[in-house]
Amino acid sequence: MVKQDKNRLADSPLAESANASHSPDVAVHSYERHPGEEKFSIVIPVLNEIDNLPVFIGELDALIFGKQLREIGEIVFVDDGSTDGTLDFLDRLAADKSKEYSVKVLKRSTKLGSANAELAGCKIAAYDTILKMDSDMQHPIRYIENLVRAWNPDLDLLVASRYLEGGGNDWSPLRGIISRSAQMIARIFIRNSGKLSDPLSGFFVLRKTLVLQLLPVINTKKLILYILATKRDIRVGEIPYVMKDRLGGESKIVDNSMKFVQQYFIEILTYRKLARQIKKASGSGRR
């Protein structure tokens, strides 16, 4: 199921599949794709994820082999100083030439935040179409196929949403309330976030051109909000997915303090300020 801007959907090749009722596990074959025609770079921020990465790669390889998903051309990992063996694992992966895809590892020495890492990864990606996801198995591997199949040339951003029919998450009620509140705040302050049922998703496909001009920001987490704030006429679509709890390792976002609330407000205001600067610099204000 693909939810897309209604006006566009009517004439889009996605219209038929969008109206059909699919379970989220069923691949969406929405238009004729010639194998190898359009490749994707998967961009993944990583920080101490050795408990998850071997499972991630094992499942990804099984998906690519099982579904003949030849569109995955590259994986770009951006690491900010992992100390748990993540870097050794990624070095071995990059040296393994038997894979269907190539692997880039960007090694940085300082923790600059996941959005900063994602932006850096997008900028060095080999392909113009980028699939961004996390490395802790919260974004189940099987949905990569759904995103790849549902992507089409009429979109700038295709988001895997927890809040479409067929989507969901494994969260505690408290975390659910925090997430819903964060969404409401995003809708108030961030342009375009109302176009999506899940404007805080970390699992999406985007066009590289959306992020090329964005300046890096330190200690922010939601690249999607940065994009939604800065790109005026963005064409968006959504598919449902069920988010899982992280498989292993530790969360870098949730701790026992409420500091992340304050950081979230700062993040939103930073994106708004940057969006205004971009608008001013572009003269006409149309982006």
Ligand X SMILES: Nc1nc2c(ncn2[C@@H]2O[C@H](COP(=O)(O)OP(=O)(O)OP(=O)(O)O)[C@@H](O)[C@H]2O)c(=O)[nH]1
Chain residues that interact with ligand X, rule: CB under 6 A: 45-47, 49, 78-80, 111-114, 117, 134-136, 138, 246, 251-254
Is 136 among the residues that bind Mg ion (CB under 5 A)?
yes
CB 234 within 8 A of CB 35: no
Q: What is the CA radius of gyration of the chain?
A: 18
Nearest to 26 by CA among 150, 172, 133, 134: 150
Task: Give, as ranges, the residues between 229 and 258 that touch Mg ion (CB under 5 A).
Answer: 246
Q: Is 12 in the site for Mg ion (CB under 5 A)?
A: no
- Name beta bridge partners: 242: 168
Q: Contact letters (x/-) for Mg ion, 189-228, by CB under 5 A?
A: ----------------------------------------
Rounded least distance, CB 171 to ligand X, Å: 8
Place of tokens 């066009």: 207
Burial of 51 (0-12, 13-18, 19+ CB in 10 A): middle
The pairing of beta strand 3-4 with beta strand 102-108? unpaired
CB of 248 to ligand X, least distance (A): 11
State which residue, 12 or 41, has the beta carbon closest to ligand X: 41
Residue with Cβ nearer ligand X (253 or 266)? 253
Quickly list DSSP for 16-45.
Answer: HHHHS---TTS----S---TTSS-EEEEEE
Could you say whether residue 48 binds Mg ion (CB under 5 A)? no
Site size toward Mg ion (CB under 5 A) is 3
86 near Mg ion, rule: CB under 5 A = no
CB of 213 to ligand X, least distance (A): 21
| Least CB distance to Mg ion at residue 202 (A) | 8
Closest CA to 199 of 221, 180, 183, 223: 183
Cα 107 from Cα 93, distance rounded (Å):
14
As measured in angstroms, the least distance from the Cβ of 118 to ligand X is 8
The CB-nearest residue to ligand X is 251
Partner interacting with residue 224 (select from Mg ion, ligand X, none; CB below 5-8 Å by kind): none
